[in-house]
Amino acid sequence: MLGYFSKVFAKSIQTSTTLYATLKLMYKHLDIKLVNLPLVKNTAIPLSKTNFTMLIAIAAVAILLSVFSYQYYTFTSAKISDIASHEVKTNAQIQVHDLSQILSNKFESISALLQTLADSPAIHNNEYNRASIVINTRQQYSNQLTDFYMWLDKNGKMNWLSNINQSAYQKYKGTDLSYRPYFSVPRDTHAAYYSSLIESNDKIPRLYISYPVINMTGKGSPGIFTGVVVASIRSITLGNVLQHQLIPQFNSTVGLLDRKGTVLYSSTPSFIGNDVFGKDIQSMLSSLLPSESIDSLNNLLRSSLQGSTGSGDISAQGKTSTISYEPVSINGKYFLTLYISAPHNLASDVGLLINQQKNFSTIIVIVIAAVAFGIAFLVFLWNKRLKVTVDKRTAELKTANEQLKIHDKMQKEFINIASHEIKTPTQALLGYSELLQRHPEKIEEISQAIFRNANRLQRLTNDILDVTRIESQTLKLRKEQFNLADLISSIVEDFKNDIQKKGSNIKLLYEPKDHLILEADKGRLTQVISNLLSNAIKFSKKNGGKISITTTMQNSNDDDKKVFVSIKDDGTGIDPAIMPRLFTKFATKSEAGGTGLGLFISKSIIEAHGGRIWAENNNSDAAEAGGATFYFMLPLLPTTITKITSPTTHNFV
């Protein structure tokens, strides 16, 4: 039992070790495998703790199943082996019983033949010729078993020996066999005699059955002993006859011992004639069997020689044989003991088969477990991929949500800017119109303020209308040919007047170099340049700020002539938060004021002229506030460029 469990345990350990190793290997290679997947390219995803635990659980279930199936099959195997052993035992018992009956019958029939011989008148009357025929005939009746029949006279001398020719008869005739018990015992007892094994003169071990020949002289008389008739049975013949009776499939062997324990027949020929407890046989057995098996074999033999029936199992070298024994009697008299040894081959064959089945089923369970493991692994993998997709989508949603929030914030900003831009001049108008009645003496100052604020409202209205036109794509350009340098000069002139009026000392620098002839909407370009200049002034240092306007021609090729205009200030620079949406609607910080529409409108105007507008901070590090430069590019008309002969330098304080 202990051995069985330790075997099961060892097997379980082995199985689980293998599975664990597989698991570890798969886990180790997981990253590499996942890296190869297109969806999760360059993303090594290790198994999550939960998934790893689940894989372990599957492996554990597989191990349990393997152990259970192994146990179940071991149990079944033992059970079936028991049944097969039992079958072998029963068969051996049945066979030994049947054979002993057959043997008894054969001996009894020989015995009966001898009796008829002893009673035969030819023998009684010493009619040798007739008697020899009768004896020969009787022998032929039983020649399956008997070797020869003999007739000895009252002195134990050979009268006749069956089945021999005349010359041999002459040789044996008169041989004195009176010393043999098969002569002396019936002579003395006037009864049948059954010998144990006797080695005859020709060195062949034989069994003898003898009957006394008694001449009955009258009723009640004991009779006169005139000789014996003897039947001889070769032990080897006896054994062979018995062996033939056995069913070959069982691989059984037969054995015979006489009452004294002398081996009459054995499948090992050297045993024949030896005492079963004698030195020779015992020393040979001790070389074949373990001592406890020899002890149980000897016990079995001893009880069998008591004349009893029985059986027992003897194990040697992992193989078990059942030995069944039964005494063979003649006319109720114990003569010898018959043994049948049946190996448990069949049982072990069945056991082997079941063992194979057990191993096979264990393998099947392991294979199923491996497949389940694989499927689970794939499912986890798929889950991972799903998770990656979900994460990606979630991130996209998050981004979209962020954008919505930004949009929402911008809308709020718009409302704020719009209401500020509308309400501020309106509030001023409201206030001043109230004051106008109370302070007629300040009429000039107040009407100027009213004019200023009404103007501001008008500008706002124009801007909004422009945006509406841009968005409905109805912005119309009234194009005319003019020199951009002249336009810039006149705008700069106006601005410097304004600056002067306000008492500021911002410097505005512009040096017209070239004739920049283009075909454009003068009013709209004025709007753009004014907007860029206002912004530059707005963000410039109030004291000592400097704004320079430069124009650069590109491409002397007449067909593709361009002008780049830059407006550079040394103010606060562009807020990095605004930079990405600088030219979009409402791109302003409300602290800075303004509608945030100017640059949007400027961009639309420049692009409507086939140009481009952009901006950059003068210092890459915005914190250093080196001011900003706004650029716009416009295509020029392919006309001859004439240098302005005496360029005017405008330095305005």
Partner 1 sequence: MIVDDESDIILSIKIGLEDNGFEVDAFSEPLLALSHFKANSHALVILDIKMPDMNGFELYREMRKIDEKIKVFFFTATEIYYEDLKEIFPTIDKRRFIIKLLAIEGLEIKIRTELIS
User: How many CB atoms neighbour CB 182 within 10 A?
Assistant: 25
- In the bound state with partner 1, the residue whose beta carbon lies nearer, of 28 and 438, is 438
φ and ψ at residue 614, rounded to 5 degrees: -155, 175
CA distance 171 to 156: 16
Q: Are 237 and 145 in contact (CB under 8 A)?
A: yes
Give CA–CA dist 431/446, Å, rounded. Answer: 10
Min dist. Cβ of residue 439 to partner 1 (A): 7
Please work out, in degrees rounded to the nearest 5, the angle formed at the alpha carbon of residue 75 by the alpha carbons of 73 and 79. Answer: 110
Query: How would you write 557-619 as a 3-class SS string?
Result: CHHHCEEEEEEEECCCCCCCCCHHHCCCCCCCCHHHCCCCCHHHHHHHHHHHCCCEEEEEECC
Cβ closer to partner 1: 334 or 414? 414
| 318 Cβ neighbours under 8 A, 6+ residues apart | none
CB of 437 to partner 1, least distance (A): 11
Q: Which CB atom, from 504 or from 526, has the smaller least distance to partner 1?
A: 504
Nearer to partner 1, 73 or 432 (CB): 432
What is the smallest separation between the CB atom of 417 and partner 1, expressed in angstroms? 9
Q: Are 97 and 326 in contact (CB under 8 A)?
A: yes
Residue nearer to partner 1 on the CB measure, 207 or 446: 446
Smallest distance from partner 1 to CB 453, Å: 6
CB of 41 to partner 1, least distance (A): 45
**CA distance to 56, 246, 343, 345, 346, per residue, from 87 (Å):** 46, 16, 11, 11, 9
Residues 637, 588: Cα–Cα separation, whole Å: 35
Find the shortest distance in angstroms from Cβ 554 to partner 1.
Answer: 38
Nearer to partner 1, 220 or 440 (CB): 440
Q: How far is the CB of 434 from partner 1 (least distance, A)?
A: 5
Tell me whether residue 420 or residue 515 sits nearer to partner 1 (CB atom): 420
User: Measured from the CB of residue 592, what is the shortest distance to partner 1 in angstroms?
Assistant: 7
Interface residues toward partner 1, by CB under 8 A:
412, 415-416, 419-420, 422-428, 430-432, 434-435, 438-439, 442, 449, 452-453, 590-593
What Å distances lie between residue 509 and 146, 495, 649, CA to CA?
153, 11, 8
Distance CA 316, CA 294 (A): 10
Q: Give the nearest distance from C-beta 451 to partner 1 in angstroms.
A: 11
**Contact criterion met (CB below 8 Å) for 350 and 108:** no
Distance CA 469, CA 391 (A): 43
- Residue 414 CB, shortest distance to partner 1, in Å, is 11
Return the number of the residue (260 or 439) whose C-beta is nearest partner 1.
Answer: 439
Residues facing 209 on adjacent strands: 194, 231
Q: What is the DSSP letter of 157?
A: B
Residue 385 or 442 having the CB closest to partner 1? 442
**182: phi then psi, degrees, rounded to nearest 5:** -65, -10
CB closer to partner 1 out of 17 and 419? 419
SS3 state of residue 129: helix
Place of tokens 């599957």: 58
CA distance 31 to 379: 16
Report CA 188 to chain centroid distance, whole Å.
Answer: 89
Residue 190 or 538: which CB sits closer to partner 1?
Answer: 538
Q: How far is the CB of 436 from partner 1 (least distance, A)?
A: 10
Question: What are the structure tokens assigned to 18, written together?
Answer: 């293998």
At closest approach, how far in Å is the CB of 522 from partner 1? 31
Q: Which helix (H) or strand (E) holds 168?
A: helix 166-172
CB of 373 or CB of 539, closer to partner 1: 539
